[in-house]
Structure 1
């Protein structure tokens, strides 16, 4: 019996999730949100893949392909769930999923191994993890023999928002050949697919040996695999981060895994199979899908946070920072954050991306960052601002430090409200504790550090002619920014 090859989980974490604005922002996208529990979608994905060990699979540390700007967010969220050390493959810009998987396959084979890649997006929900592990185990056995395997979700409704996979020979068995891929259907066609039973939703989850993926890409998109190899050869490595050459990566043609390879496989002679997945899957692609996935009260309302609902039915109401009340409304989405509120009909949830497009066109920061912004050293929350002043609440993790920096257009007052602060200001270093404060003059080189074992919290009051986040000159930074 041929021994089972090692298994390498690959998490594709580069999505933006614009249809879940205002919770999802470019700087803090959907996969890092906690939408249905105590852990983010990305954390749930990492833990779900780690659980494959219980099936007796030889699991390697995961490869995470994500955005350069989210690297410390990925590390922190992995640390919070005690996931084994992952390798982060950092994309300098988005080139879609096919180059992302090419990068992962090149990394997986860099030391001469040829593991089976279990590839999954970072922003999906699966409620039956035992069923997921069983389906993956079946897919791994097929992939180990050189098959390209897709996990196809068993349809539960005539959905028009997903592409479908048609199974050869009727209803899908444990593993069945793929006859063809079909685009998103209209309602009548989707109903026919459901009744016939030989169609599965394409959820973007794949199981394939690294070498097989590279060979398939070489056959169908030699330009992409060659450009990916050039970018990989120009990579740099820093601790857990692997960065392909920036200019070289930008030259890779952008395309999805489906369009570049998968949809070309049926009839090509390349063996491609689908394994049915019936595990409570949802891609949470828009707010109506979030409503569908969340628990509801007797009137069909899904609520999170401080919410009061009177004579209201089938609503999704998410309160982040204050009380939200709804009266006499049905089928709405109401999402409150400290700096933005969304009100939409559930049937129009897909249209939220048009709001994001307007924000981008108007160069408004609400499409990019929350009021509370996470940094590798902690976070800051801009709690008030007007002309010539801004007030921030800042938390610094134990033993963490901001960069050594200066500002050309603003001065800063710092008041310690919790913990101990080590402050560098020019050639002076001072220690401050609760209720003590200091002043950082305009143009002075300074740094804030937390030497203690509990989080440090300060209130920062900025004053000056320009208070933008780009007014910063860094001299030293342990996070490589």
Structure 2
């Protein structure tokens, strides 16, 4: 069986404002009802696949397990990287982990933020590469290009692509526009999708031969990893000694005898809003809308409203991208889609929280969002998953008033524990030790009104926490 290795620790900026550092694009339903991460996990499931191995960071660990649970997938393991070191150390850690339990496994390395509309076709392509992988080859998957894209690296083939794995001649860096058109016209180049298939033994031998300096720190980090609430935390000290390098630079571009499986059934890494527009349903004039968005006399335009309270209207637009969220709006010429990162940099320079943070803050127990913030008060909506509980805590600078609007809350205030149902409320005095829990089988939603001299999230003293955050 093939073990999918899902990489989901990145935090892209080219899909701002919907993708931000605190909640990047792989966890967002950009195309369809599933998030990109969920679609990736479903695509790599079935009789040919073992349970997935996920590599992510500390901030996303509960998002990963929650989104997998929503689609009924139980991961084989979730490895927590202490810090981002690019794809080579992450893949090496996965291989070393699998070597302990399943040294003969085939590993399918898959970024979790790609769109592949035809999962069956992709699984068939994977099957074409398994024999070569079992025979000790590194197999990569090349995408048949549809245009001269300058945002992708390319794979030069040793022979014309057919219906099976063929030898790779070399990797080609991202070209300029003229060179990209030449390569596509030749028919001897494929886009590099960053998807790889190989056995545990093959990739470990490659690391020991081509990037031996990575092996000791990563191996020590895996050996000293600690289990925490079902996650496996790689040891931070040795991990910090691993180089920050991609699998392409560390291994692939220096390896001989790589094979390529061509894939032409549709693929996108959604590297910008122009790619999202191409993957979205469009009308006869090339207009794609979603949410509460309305287009009037527009052409080749993307209009997305991500909040039911925001009516987004485009009038007479041509080649424009507009994305509205509750706290930020992007309006861009479609030809500048790759420059959205400049907007993020500008916002960071002015210390705007919208550069990296969402108004909706995801936590292991659910999420909350700020509805109103004023002088000495704040109003939040809090959503608690069934069976979940916030930490037992107190505050130095604020009191709170909770009004349950959906479900039932079990509330602890000092020594008292009570149930609070819909349309009931409870007051939490300043300094009181308190906790809210959802004992039911449906989500619990409440409105929290905070008042006090300081309302920051760091004014929390935790005494007990089922998520080990004390």
Question: Normalised by the size of structure 2, how large is the TM-score?
Answer: 0.97
1:140 aligns with 2:130: yes
Q: Which residue, 12, 26, 30 being the options, matches 1:35?
A: 30
Equivalence for 2:104: 114
Alpha-carbon distance in structure 1 between the residues aligned to 2:368 and 2:99: 40
Q: Which residue, 355, 378, 399 being the options, matches 1:390?
A: 378
1:12 aligns with 2:14: no
| Deviation at residue 173 of structure 1 after TM alignment | 5.2
Equivalence for 1:289: 275
Give the paired residue count.
467
SS at match of 2:382: strand
The one-character-per-residue Cα deviations of 1:157-210 (angstroms, maximum 9, x if unpaired) are 111111111111344551111111111111221111112111111010000111
SS at match of 1:64: strand
Alpha-carbon distance in structure 1 between the residues aligned to 2:239 and 2:15: 28
The one-character-per-residue Cα deviations of 1:127-169 (angstroms, maximum 9, x if unpaired) are 1222211110011121011000100111111111111111113
Q: Any conservation in 2 of the 1:172–1:198 contact (CA below 8 Å)? A: no
1:273 aligns with 2:259: yes
Bigger shift: residues 34-43 or 217-226: 217-226
Q: Which residue, 243, 265, 290 being the options, matches 1:253?
A: 243
Q: Which residue, 304, 328, 346 being the options, matches 1:318?
A: 304
Equivalence for 2:453: 465
1:228 aligns with 2:214: no
Bigger shift: residues 427-436 or 358-367: 358-367
Alpha-carbon distance in structure 1 between the residues aligned to 2:384 and 2:457: 18
1:447 aligns with 2:418: no
Alpha-carbon distance in structure 1 between the residues aligned to 2:462 and 2:339: 40
Alpha-carbon distance in structure 2 between the residues aligned to 1:450 and 1:327: 46
Question: What does 1:401-416 align with in structure 2 at a 5 Å threshold?
Answer: 401-416=389-404
Alpha-carbon distance in structure 1 between the residues aligned to 2:31 and 2:96: 34
| Deviation at residue 360 of structure 1 after TM alignment | 2.8
Alpha-carbon distance in structure 2 between the residues aligned to 1:125 and 1:448: 39
Segments of 5+ residues of structure 1 without an aligned counterpart are 1-5
Segments of 5+ residues of structure 2 without an aligned counterpart are none
Alpha-carbon distance in structure 1 between the residues aligned to 2:241 and 2:210: 18
Question: What does 1:295-306 align with in structure 2 at a 5 Å threshold?
Answer: 295-306=281-292
Question: What does 1:284-363 align with in structure 2 at a 5 Å threshold?
Answer: 284-321=270-307, 322-363=310-351
The one-character-per-residue Cα deviations of 1:305-334 (angstroms, maximum 9, x if unpaired) are 011111111111110112110111111111
Q: Are the structure 2 counterparts of residues 431 and 130 from structure 1 closer, same or farther at C-alpha, using a change threshold of 3 Å? A: closer
| Deviation at residue 27 of structure 1 after TM alignment | 1.4
| Deviation at residue 239 of structure 1 after TM alignment | 4.3
C-alpha RMSD of matched pairs (Å):
1.3
1:419 aligns with 2:414: no
Q: Which residue, 60, 82, 92 being the options, matches 1:92?
A: 82
SS at match of 1:89: strand
1:105 aligns with 2:71: no
Alpha-carbon distance in structure 2 between the residues aligned to 1:284 and 1:243: 29
The one-character-per-residue Cα deviations of 1:64-123 (angstroms, maximum 9, x if unpaired) are 011111011000100111113331111121100011101111111112532010111000
Equivalence for 1:3: none
SS at match of 1:110: helix
SS at match of 2:100: coil
Alpha-carbon distance in structure 2 between the residues aligned to 1:398 and 1:120: 31
Q: Any conservation in 1 of the 2:229–2:467 contact (CA below 8 Å)? A: no
| Deviation at residue 361 of structure 1 after TM alignment | 3.2
Q: Any conservation in 2 of the 1:19–1:286 contact (CA below 8 Å)? A: yes
| Deviation at residue 476 of structure 1 after TM alignment | 0.9
Q: Are the structure 2 counterparts of residues 158 and 172 from structure 1 closer, same or farther at C-alpha, using a change threshold of 3 Å? A: farther
